[in-house]
Structures are given as structure tokens and as C-alpha cells.
Amino acid sequence: MDRVISMRVFVEAATAGSLSAAARHLAMSPAMATKHVNALEARLGIKLFHRTTRGLSLTEVGSHYLEACLRILPEIEEAEAAATSQRVKALGRLRMNVPLSFGTRYIAPLIAEFSHRHPEVTVELGLSDDQLDLIAGNWDLAIRIGRLNDSPLQTRQLGNSCMQVCAAPSYLDQRGMPRSVSELAQHNCLSYTLSAMQNRAHWAFGAKGEIHVPINGNLLANNGDALLAAAIAGQGLIYQPHFIVGEALKRGELVALELDKPLMDLGGIHVLYPPDRRPPAKVRVMIDYLVEMLAQSPP
């Protein structure tokens, strides 16, 4: 039997002096109310009521137990109400884990409007390119860019992200413009260490990254913005998502290369959150907000 329900039956019976009255108040049968009290007495190993033909009266230990139940049950109801309110109303701390460059460019600027819409939510933004464990790190949600591994996490796509090979005009003036992927081996290719598809040994081309092209370079970094700065300074070629290089291309600081093989499909931008059929309202409203805003201004 449910212990909390049994406690509620006990309190109602003690207050009304009758199990049938307690049953009516709790919308259950008298037989079920009796089972709850019997189960409670069996669990505790004590007798809570004196039963007579005229009704119920509390034993001495039953009186002490009633005092304890009258303290405990309101606290339980308050805890349940608080938990339920977070299901239906956006409030509390929302912990988001987001890639550094993407979070700085696209997520941080959106937080002010989100906070205006949902003033009772406090956002904790964790910026990191490491693939942190959502569950172990107690994150409410995360944004991941690229192909997702199988996991029990729930996902929702926020957008797409294409790749681009590019370099500064000063570098291309000095070293020449490569036209084929086979020419990349003769260039200084600056690589992203956290990707298996753009690492120190090769860059991957083709929609699924099935074409591996050998490369060399004198800079490795675990952050796309560091590679961007080096490329703008004329150090070499970079192969990065458009959301990192797009503004530099518009300003003419970088030039996009047209090669003889298709660029890799990065796999999209997704929000991930723990497997919960009814996630808290703070999670739901943030996800809906990100979908809305990134649809208006795609990365």
C-alpha cells in the first residue's frame, strides 16, 4: 500500500472518528480505507486505534503518530506542489551546455529576450567544446553540432550547419589557390583537434565524410575561433562550420575555396535533453524559444 495515502487515510479517520467517513472524504471504499490503516499498523508494528461499535479512538501511540503525520503531510503536499509547478510554470535554474563559439555568437545574445519572457528562470550557460555528459553533469539541456551518437537523450533539431574551406587573401596571394583536394597536402592546413573528421592527419570530404584527404599544418586548436583568427592573419587554410567563418567571408577577410569534392555534411545543430516524457516547463520553453529564434536567423 502507498505509505503516504495510508497516512492520509489515518489522519482523516482520526479526525472524523470513522473509517467510512474517511473513505467518503478520500473517494475510496470503506474496505480500501480499512486496508490502508491495517497496512499502516502492520508496517509500524503498533495499534493506532481502539475499535468499538461506536467508532474509533486513538491509542496513546496513535495520538503521537497523528501529531507527526499532521507535520509531515503538509510538507509532502508542499513539495509535490513545488514539483508540479515546475512542470507547468517556467521557473528555477536552467543549466545549458553549449559549444563555445556557437554559444558566444548565437545563444548568449538570445538570453536577454528569453529572460524578459520568463523572468523566473535563471539561465546558467556553460560554454565548452568538450562533449560533456548531460546526466552526470546535471545539465538540463545541451546543444550539439554534428552527427549524434545513439543515446537515450531526447533531441530536437535547431538548424543545419554547412562546412567551408577558406583562407585569407594574403595567404592565397602568397601560396596560390588550391582547386582540388589533392592540392591540400601542399598547403598549411590549420586543424580542429576535437573533430575526428578535421584532425591533424586528414580532412574529410563527401556528404558523409567518406573521402579522407591527407593534410599537414603548423597549428592545431580545440576551438574554432582560434583557428579563425589564425586564418584571418594569413597563417593557412581552415575547414570550419559556416557559423564560425560566415562573417569573415562577408567582410572579405576570408575567401571560400571551390574544390573538386563536395564538402562534408556536418550533421545539423541539435538540442539534447534528458529522457523525460514531461520535462520541466523551463526546459520546454527554452527549446521552443531556440527553435523560434534560430528559424528567424539561421546560423
pTM for this structure? 0.66
**Beta carbons within 8 Å of 36's beta carbon, 6+ residues apart:** 1, 5, 6, 9, 10
Count of other CB atoms within 10 angstroms of residue 174: 9
| CATH classification at residue 47 | 1.10.10.10
Are residue 272 and residue 146 in the same domain, yes or no? yes
Instruction: Tell me if 160 sits within 8 A of 102, measured CB to CB.
Output: no
Selection from 101, 102, 86 nearest residue 140 by Cα = 86
Q: With a cut of 70, say whether residue 88 has pLDDT above it.
A: no
Are residue 154 and residue 182 in the same domain, yes or no? no
The residue type of 3 is R
The mean per-residue pLDDT over the stretch 258-282 comes to 87
Has residue 287 been placed in a domain? yes
Has residue 8 been placed in a domain? yes
**Beta carbons within 8 Å of 225's beta carbon, 6+ residues apart:** 100, 101, 104, 244
DSSP 156-182: EEEE--BEEEEE-HHHHHHH----SGG
Tell me the per-residue pLDDT of 11-46, one tens digit each, with 9 for 90 and over.
Answer: 999 988 889 888 988 889 989 999 999 999 999 999
Q: With a cut of 70, say whether residue 85 has pLDDT above it.
A: no
Q: Residue 234, SS3?
A: coil
CA dihedral 257, 258, 259, 262 (to 10 degrees): 110
Tell me the per-residue pLDDT of 133-162, one tens digit each, with 9 for 90 and over.
Answer: 888 788 999 999 888 877 888 899 998 888
Count of other CB atoms within 10 angstroms of residue 131: 13
Are residue 170 and residue 101 in the same domain, yes or no? no
The mean per-residue pLDDT over the stretch 78-86 comes to 65
Q: Which residues pair with 187 in a beta bridge?
A: none
CA 189 – CA 185 distance, rounded (Å): 8
Are residue 154 and residue 178 in the same domain, yes or no? no
Last residue of a domain, one of 85, 120, 147: 85
| Mean pLDDT for all residues in the chain | 90
Are residue 69 and residue 42 in the same domain, yes or no? yes
The residue type of 52 is T
Q: Which domain holds residue 152?
A: 92-159+268-296
| CATH classification at residue 282 | 3.40.190.10
Has residue 261 been placed in a domain? no
Instruction: Tell me if 118 sits within 8 A of 146, measured CB to CB.
Output: no
Are residue 147 and residue 19 in the same domain, yes or no? no
Number of domains in the chain: 3
Q: Residue 220, SS3?
A: strand
Are residue 151 and residue 272 in the same domain, yes or no? yes
Q: Residue 92, SS3?
A: strand
Q: With a cut of 80, say whether residue 278 has pLDDT above it.
A: no
Higher pLDDT, 90 or 118: 118
User: What pLDDT does 120 receive?
Assistant: 92
The mean per-residue pLDDT over the stretch 75-88 comes to 68
Are residue 56 and residue 138 in the same domain, yes or no? no
Are residue 61 and residue 203 in the same domain, yes or no? no
Has residue 75 been placed in a domain? yes
User: What pLDDT does 134 receive?
Assistant: 83
Tell me the per-residue pLDDT of 50-75, one tens digit each, with 9 for 90 and over.
Answer: 888 777 889 999 999 999 998 888 88
Last residue of a domain, one of 56, 85, 114: 85
Has residue 237 been placed in a domain? yes
Are residue 249 and residue 185 in the same domain, yes or no? yes
User: What pLDDT does 83 receive?
Assistant: 64
Has residue 262 been placed in a domain? no
Has residue 263 been placed in a domain? no
Are residue 184 and residue 128 in the same domain, yes or no? no
Last residue of a domain, one of 85, 104, 139: 85
Has residue 72 been placed in a domain? yes
Instruction: Tell me if 13 sits within 8 A of 37, measured CB to CB.
Output: yes
Are residue 152 and residue 272 in the same domain, yes or no? yes
Q: Residue 273, SS3?
A: strand
In this structure, the strands spanning 237-241 and 211-214 are unpaired
